[in-house]
Amino acid sequence: MGILKSSIFAVFQLSILSLGHPTNPPGHSDLLVQTPLFSVQGVPWPNNTDVRFFGNIPYAEPPVGTARWRPPITKLPSNETVNGSWFGPSCIQYNSGSKTVYTEYLSGFLLTPGQEQSEDCLTLNVWTPKAVGKGEKLPVMIWIHGGGFTSGGAASPYKYGDRLAKDQNVVVVAMNYRLNIFGYPNAASLDGRNLNPGLLDQRKAVEWVYTNINAFGGDNERMILFGQSAGGMAVDKYTYAYPTDPIVRGFIVQSGAATGGSFLDPTGSNFTYVASQVGCSQTDKDEQFACMQGVDAMIIIDVYNKYNASANGGQSLSFQPGPDNQTSFANYPDLQARGLFARVPTVYQQVDNEGSSLVAYVPSGPNQTAVDAFTRSISTCPQAKAALARKTFGVPVWRTRYFGEWPNMNPLPWLGAFHSSDIPMVFGTSDLRGPGTDAERVVSAYMQSAFAAFARDPESGLDWPKYDPAGETLVELALDNSTEVQFAKGDSFDGLC
């Protein structure tokens, strides 16, 4: 491990130790919250005691046993008091062991190092300002993390919600949801229905927040959904899955779109392969499914983690959202043409060099042509089409592009404004990698305020021009590290779409 990586790892270890797993001090009655289902005992957030934290809140029953690969089950009431002093376990992660920019230089973007994993992971976390006035209800920002639908979770230091909550006087909620084979099994036994329990988890979490967030000082009539990468794709997919009942009042889609990735395995062969490796070789699809529900979860993920495509004729093994035409669709262009999406204000944001940290890792830097093509495929072109569909149907919509390249956030000179580099700017956490520049802090404060303004009033909280491909409406953030917002022609980067 080099000096740079060693020092970064040390910083994370120190920050984790300083945060610890706090316990609730006596005399803080505002830290015990009673919901209609149960009580939650929170704590003052470490190093930011003006914020209350309530973690490890179950929004559904554990998805284990016969509940594995089924839609989330509504959490039943109980007399328990949830220990909300820290995050609950993250959902089981996929890890092939391959080197990436994130494993080598940007540890912590997916999860806090050492974070516990479990199949019993359907929990969410709430950060809320301590000084909420009596009867005051704050806007609620519900975060969906990224990680390729295979990994990641709410417990990531770059995405802790305390600074956003305190600085912008909002309630921040972050959820876990099922990942990889546990979230997207595409098993033949499901007969094409409810193929994506991980996406259904997200809806269940939003429903839980709507029902319960008032008890934490949030306003359930002013909620937005925002997410990045796979989380951005999920937010956009949500708009098509619940066109008439989105619950939330606005969407922010970062570095992704519903049409930015597709996964087809019509026969469920990936699930069948894993089943064959763990002793579930039944020819009857329902018997095989029931057998798989009884296999230890860590045995299942171990098969996936250790799969070698080269040893299997180059055949890939993947578990991603599949088209069940409930939560994920095969015909997004048709839905866009007919306006079959939630018609509420939407922001589409991307970074300028998405692909640099996503294409195959090469220490000297990847081919920029490949990087540009990846950037177009994951964000630029899918977001352009999605934004135009909203504009066509009169939905308030904005497009932004982030260009920031800060010394403390760019460990490699060729990264540029890489995929995920806007996350710390929104959450105010870019100083985790060392002190930022004055301009960096100004841009971060501005981006936080813009996201919060949208949460407070999605219709008119932003003072940016609404998206028009022919007008000067593309919002350029941190262009050349400038603190001034700039505007370019709406379709400036869409030429090869």
Examine the fold and report which residue of 285, 317, 349 is the final residue of a domain before the chain moves on: 317
- Same domain, residue pair 313 and 378: no
- Same domain, residue pair 42 and 136: yes
Q: Is residue 158 part of a domain?
A: yes
β strands within 112-263, DSSP E:
117-118, 123-129, 138-144, 171-175, 218-228, 250-254
Domain count, the chain: 2
Q: Is residue 384 part of a domain?
A: yes
- Same domain, residue pair 402 and 417: yes
Domain that holds residue 123: 3-263+321-489
Examine the fold and report which residue of 317, 336, 353 is the final residue of a domain before the chain moves on: 317
- Same domain, residue pair 378 and 312: no
Tokens of 203: 């809806």
Helix axes 297-306, 269-277, angle to 10 degrees: 110
| DSSP codes joined into one string, 65-132 | GGGTTSPPPBPPP-S-EEE-SS--PEEPPP------HHHHT-TTSSS-TT--EES---EEEEEEES-P
- Same domain, residue pair 85 and 143: yes
- Same domain, residue pair 122 and 193: yes
Q: Is residue 190 part of a domain?
A: yes
- Same domain, residue pair 110 and 188: yes
- Same domain, residue pair 255 and 362: yes
Q: Is residue 495 part of a domain?
A: no
Q: Is residue 497 part of a domain?
A: no
Query: Nearest to residue 128, comparing CAs of 71, 43, 248, 18?
Result: 43
Q: 496 — phi, psi (to 5°)?
A: -100, 15
- Same domain, residue pair 59 and 157: yes
Using only the alpha carbons of the chain, give its radius of gyration. Answer: 22
CA distance 385 to 382: 5
The predicted structure's pLDDT at residue 24: 43
The predicted structure's pLDDT at residue 212: 97
What is the CATH number for 30? 3.40.50.1820
In our burial notation (b when 16+ CB lie closer than 10 A, e otherwise), range 77-106 reads eeeeebbbbbbbbbbbbbeeeeebbbebbb
Angle subtended at Cα 493 by Cα 492 and Cα 494, rounded to the nearest 5 degrees: 100
Q: Is residue 309 part of a domain?
A: yes
Provide long-range contacts, Cβ within 8 A and 24+ apart, for 471-475. 473/398, 473/399, 474/399, 474/400, 474/401, 475/398, 475/399, 475/400, 475/401
List, by residue number, the catalytic residues: 229, 354, 419
The predicted structure's pLDDT at residue 422: 98
Q: Is residue 428 part of a domain?
A: yes
CA distance 221 to 236: 20
- Same domain, residue pair 123 and 178: yes
CA distance 268 to 280: 14
- Strand, coil or helix: what is 371? helix
| DSSP codes joined into one string, 373-420 | HHHIIIIIHHHHHHHHHHHHTT--EEEEEE----TTT-SSTT--SBTT
CB count in 10 Å sphere of residue 269: 13
The predicted structure's pLDDT at residue 29: 67
- Same domain, residue pair 88 and 235: yes
- Strand, coil or helix: what is 427? helix
Angle subtended at Cα 189 by Cα 187 and Cα 195, rounded to the nearest 5 degrees: 50
The predicted structure's pLDDT at residue 134: 67
- Same domain, residue pair 458 and 476: yes
Q: Is residue 496 part of a domain?
A: no
- Strand, coil or helix: what is 9? helix
The predicted structure's pLDDT at residue 119: 98
The tens place of each residue's pLDDT in the chain, 497 residues long, gives: 233 333 333 333 334 333 444 444 444 568 999 999 999 999 999 988 899 999 999 999 999 999 999 999 999 999 999 999 999 999 999 999 999 999 999 999 999 999 999 999 999 999 999 877 667 899 999 999 999 999 999 999 999 999 999 999 999 999 999 999 999 999 999 999 999 999 999 999 999 999 999 999 999 999 999 999 999 999 999 999 999 999 999 999 999 999 976 677 888 899 999 999 999 999 999 999 999 999 999 999 999 999 999 899 889 999 999 999 999 999 999 999 999 999 999 999 999 999 999 999 999 999 999 999 999 999 999 999 999 999 999 999 999 999 999 999 999 999 999 999 999 999 999 999 999 999 999 999 999 999 999 999 999 999 999 999 999 999 999 999 999 999 999 999 999 99
The predicted structure's pLDDT at residue 16: 39
In our burial notation (b when 16+ CB lie closer than 10 A, e otherwise), range 187-222 reads bbbbeeebbbbbbbbbbbbbebbbebbeebbbbeeb
